Structures are given as C-alpha cells and as structure tokens.
Chains A and B, each alone.
Chain A
C-alpha cells in the first residue's frame, strides 16, 4: 500500500488539528472556537481547554481511560444552569435537603463537589433549578453515598425517570414520556448521567426516592455527591460547560484549510476516516470534504439526517457518484472512499458496501483543500475523529479492506467502547 499523502492522528492540542503527514505541516487544519471548553484528559479528569485550542478527548470504559484520544468538534451550546458546581447558590432551591460544600474530590480532580443529604418524613426531598427555558437535555455528575434511588424530572414537560445511582441503571418507572438516559462512568466512582427528551422543559429537578420507587410521600435519610450540572436546549448532551453565577455558552468549533493543490490528486485517490457523529441521526447533514473551494467540485463523506453514511463526488456541478449505506455512525466507524474515473467504491468497516463504475474525476489543479464542512463551507462536521488519511492513488480492494478493518478483536471492542467480560 502506498503511504498516505496526508495523515491526521490526534495527538496534540493547539490552534490546529495537527497532521503528522505531510511532514511539512501543510496538512494541518485551522481550528476555531471562541472561548474555552472542557475535555476528558488522559487521567479521565474533566479539564478546561483554553480559548481557540483544539481538544484531545480520551475514551473511557468503566471509568478508566482506554486507548488513544480523538479530536472532538461540537456545536455551540448554552449551559442554562447558573451555578453548575456550587449547590449552595440561591439559584438552586432545596426542599428537605442540606448542602455540604466542597465535600469530596470532583470529576475535575479538585475538592469542589458538594454533598447533598436528604431527610424526609412522609413528604419529599429535592433540589431544583427552575429558571430554565427550552431545555431538551440535562446532564450531571453524581456519586452514590447511601441514597440508592433518585427521580430525574424536568418541569413543564413533566417527563421523568427513576434511576439507581448505586448500580447505574434507569428503572422502568417513568413519569410522562420518560427520559432517554445514558450512564457514563468516570474515575473515582463518579457517574455522568445524561438525559435526553426534555421536550422544552423549564426546570431540572432531582428528587430523593425510595426503592419502590417513589418520591412522595417518602420517609428516608440519605446522601449523594452532585457536581457539574448542565441543561441545554440542544437535543443531546454535550461536553461539560462549567458555570459560576451566570449561564455560559461554549462556541461552535470548526476545522478547515488542510492541504494544498500538491497534496491532492485530481484524477484518483482515497479518503479514509475513522469517525463518529455526536448523534444518529444528525440534526443536519454533516460534511467532510476535499474541494476546490466550491461544492461543485468536491469529494465528500456525509453523515446524513436519514442515518446513512454517504460517499459522493461532484465534478463541475454534476454528481458523478453517490454511494450510501445505513450504519450506526454514532459509534466510531472506519470508512474509505475510492475515486477514479469509472471506478468509485465505498468501504465501511471492512466491507465494500457500494460501487459506481461510471463517472469522471477532476481536471488538473482542482482540489486544494480538506475541511470539516460542506464543499462551499457551512454544514460543519460535528463529532469525533480518531484518524484521517488521504492517499493520492486508488488503492486495491484488499488494501481498502485492510484499511477499514479493525486490526484485532480488542481493537474493535475498544473502538466501540464495549466492555469485555
């Protein structure tokens, strides 16, 4: 197999997404984000990344970092919770609940997590942030002490679900339409609970519950630690946005401008990527393209709103190949798009899923830039990138199979964040 002309292996943070090949650095992507953001660092801790700096995010299985990092690109999002860590703040109303500030080490590794103790007698106990608008997803870090069940409830839409925070599962008992709950384990027995389905809610309410489960009337005494609360209009939870006295917006991220006309072959080549979207289906078509500055001349990989992963090539405004397959692209997948005159092929996870044996490629000096966006800009790619490779020649089927296959069972399992028992 030829060497890739361009290779992005996420390994450094900075003002760019750094490509190791070409060695000159011409393959680096210009990165933008106004303001800071957070990531999961190599220790599994939440860490703030400065204004304009790209993020390396480390995958975790069962609360431990496993494997190499990926770059993450996220949309703009507002954390409406005014005080995401300080539960003593007046923006949180407490009923039969007492806060002990800075009681334990939080998921960012500092002594900043508050303890909540509920004491109820034939009534209910809760903590509420009620000044929210149009909330569709909520998330928070929680750590069990001796209160096993809680009710996560969002006001106005009145959706809720009872959750066991000791074992980390959602019960089948719901209120309203329920919530779509995901548990993510962090070091030191922290859980990040992410809930979708807020349906334009106006408040985040966390109740102490018994094992029935019910929240009112109950007589109980129990505690947990709570930190890093977040409420977003976004339909899915994104990375943690810390707040301290006012709401905070994390700006959208972009990465564009990799390569030049000498990097890309206009007549043939292969674009390979190991990537995932932030959700499936995406809210709009997410594009990854090599272009000449316009959509009319572009090689693209697209995650579409129809849950399909698509490879397409457009030359002079005429679509030459449109190859598509249904795949869960919320998991990291390995894809490769081969383009050559009358020879287009789309490979996904080791299989050739579609071909087109008719069509032309580009005139000389057409392709000159690689970007996480539509050919003409916009429709920015959002998601995780584990690697990108560009080959300036068409590869053989066996090479494409090798390039898009998992190298071992553990490689595949770790790539999909599966736990092997």
Chain B
C-alpha cells in the first residue's frame, strides 16, 4: 500500500484545514516556513496536528 499520507509534495491538507483554524495565520505560515527551512516529509501528519491544535484553540 502506498503511504500517500506522507507524500511530501502534497500540501492540500494544510489548505483544506486552513479555514477551520480561523484567523490563525501563524499556524498556516508555520507549516510553510518549516518547509522552507527543511523539506517536510510527513506533510499530512503536520497538517493534522496543526488542525487539531487550531480546533482546540477555537473550541475553548
């Protein structure tokens, strides 16, 4: 089985989840800045974690 969730070329998840993080641009920017410093391998893992943190921020 392909491990597509680790695909380092696909940033769709970050874009898909951006709206749920509301106005927190730093959380989106952080992902792209990190990729600038070093190519991110586990893109979806990073995006999912940031999404979870963002949802917690909005809910509380």
Taking a contact as CB atoms under 8 Å apart, the answer to whether A13 and B27 are in contact is: no
A279–B52 Cα distance when bound, in Å, is 30
A403's closest neighbor in chain B, by CB? Answer: B56
Chain A residues with CB below 8 A from B50, complex form: 7, 9, 20
Chain A residues with CB below 8 A from B35, complex form: 12
Encode A382-407 as 1/0 by CB contact (under 8 A) with B: 00000101000000101100110001
List 17 other contacts, CB 8 Å, given A2-B57, A11-B41: A1-B60, A3-B53, A3-B54, A3-B57, A7-B53, A10-B42, A11-B43, A12-B38, A13-B38, A16-B38, A20-B34, A22-B30, A23-B27, A24-B33, A25-B34, A56-B42, A399-B56
Taking a contact as CB atoms under 8 Å apart, the answer to whether A11 and B27 are in contact is: no
With A11-B42, A13-B41, A42-B41 as contacts: A23 and B6 at CB distance below 8 Å: no
In B23-60, the 8 Å CB interface with A consists of: 24, 26-27, 29-31, 33-35, 37-43, 45-46, 48-50, 52-54, 56-57, 59-60
Q: List 13 A-B contacts (CB under 8 A).
A: A4-B53, A11-B45, A12-B35, A18-B38, A20-B31, A21-B26, A23-B26, A23-B29, A42-B3, A42-B42, A56-B41, A64-B1, A69-B41
A389's closest neighbor in chain B, by CB? Answer: B53
A140–B14 Cα distance when bound, in Å, is 40
A7–B41 Cα distance when bound, in Å, is 17
Taking a contact as CB atoms under 8 Å apart, the answer to whether A12 and B45 are in contact is: no
Chain B residues with CB below 8 A from A387, complex form: 49
Encode A13-41 as 1/0 by CB contact (under 8 A) with B: 11110111111110010000000000000
Taking a contact as CB atoms under 8 Å apart, the answer to whether A402 and B56 are in contact is: yes
B59's closest neighbor in chain A, by CB? Answer: A1
Taking a contact as CB atoms under 8 Å apart, the answer to whether B60 and A11 are in contact is: no
A23–B37 Cα distance when bound, in Å, is 11
Chain B residues with CB below 8 A from A64, complex form: 1
Chain B residues with CB below 8 A from A3, complex form: 24, 26-27, 53-54, 57
A53's closest neighbor in chain B, by CB? Answer: B38
A19's closest neighbor in chain B, by CB? Answer: B34
How many residues on chain A are close to B (CB under 8 Å)?
37
Closest Cβ–Cβ distance, residue A259 to chain B (whole Å): 14
Closest Cβ–Cβ distance, residue A400 to chain B (whole Å): 11
With A11-B43, A65-B3, A399-B60 as contacts: A18 and B37 at CB distance below 8 Å: yes
In A143-176, the 8 Å CB interface with B consists of: none
With A9-B50, A25-B33 as contacts: A14 and B24 at CB distance below 8 Å: no
Closest Cβ–Cβ distance, residue A16 to chain B (whole Å): 7
Closest Cβ–Cβ distance, residue A54 to chain B (whole Å): 9
A188 within 8 A of B: no
A13–B24 Cα distance when bound, in Å, is 26
Chain A residues with CB below 8 A from B37, complex form: 14, 16, 18, 25, 28
A407–B52 Cα distance when bound, in Å, is 10
B29's closest neighbor in chain A, by CB? Answer: A23
B39's closest neighbor in chain A, by CB? Answer: A12
Taking a contact as CB atoms under 8 Å apart, the answer to whether A12 and B60 are in contact is: no
A76 within 8 A of B: no
A181 within 8 A of B: no
A15–B38 Cα distance when bound, in Å, is 9
Encode B7-32 as 1/0 by CB contact (under 8 A) with A: 00000000000000000101101110
Chain B residues with CB below 8 A from A1, complex form: 56-57, 59-60
B30's closest neighbor in chain A, by CB? Answer: A23
A21–B29 Cα distance when bound, in Å, is 9
Closest Cβ–Cβ distance, residue A45 to chain B (whole Å): 11
Closest Cβ–Cβ distance, residue B28 to chain A (whole Å): 9
Taking a contact as CB atoms under 8 Å apart, the answer to whether A69 and B42 are in contact is: yes
A67's closest neighbor in chain B, by CB? Answer: B45
A128 within 8 A of B: no
A43 within 8 A of B: yes
Taking a contact as CB atoms under 8 Å apart, the answer to whether B34 and A18 are in contact is: yes
A1's closest neighbor in chain B, by CB? Answer: B60
A10's closest neighbor in chain B, by CB? Answer: B42
With A399-B60, A402-B56 as contacts: A12 and B40 at CB distance below 8 Å: yes
A24–B3 Cα distance when bound, in Å, is 30
A102–B33 Cα distance when bound, in Å, is 44
Closest Cβ–Cβ distance, residue A86 to chain B (whole Å): 30
Closest Cβ–Cβ distance, residue A373 to chain B (whole Å): 22
Encode A46-88 as 1/0 by CB contact (under 8 A) with B: 0000000000100000001100110000000000000000000
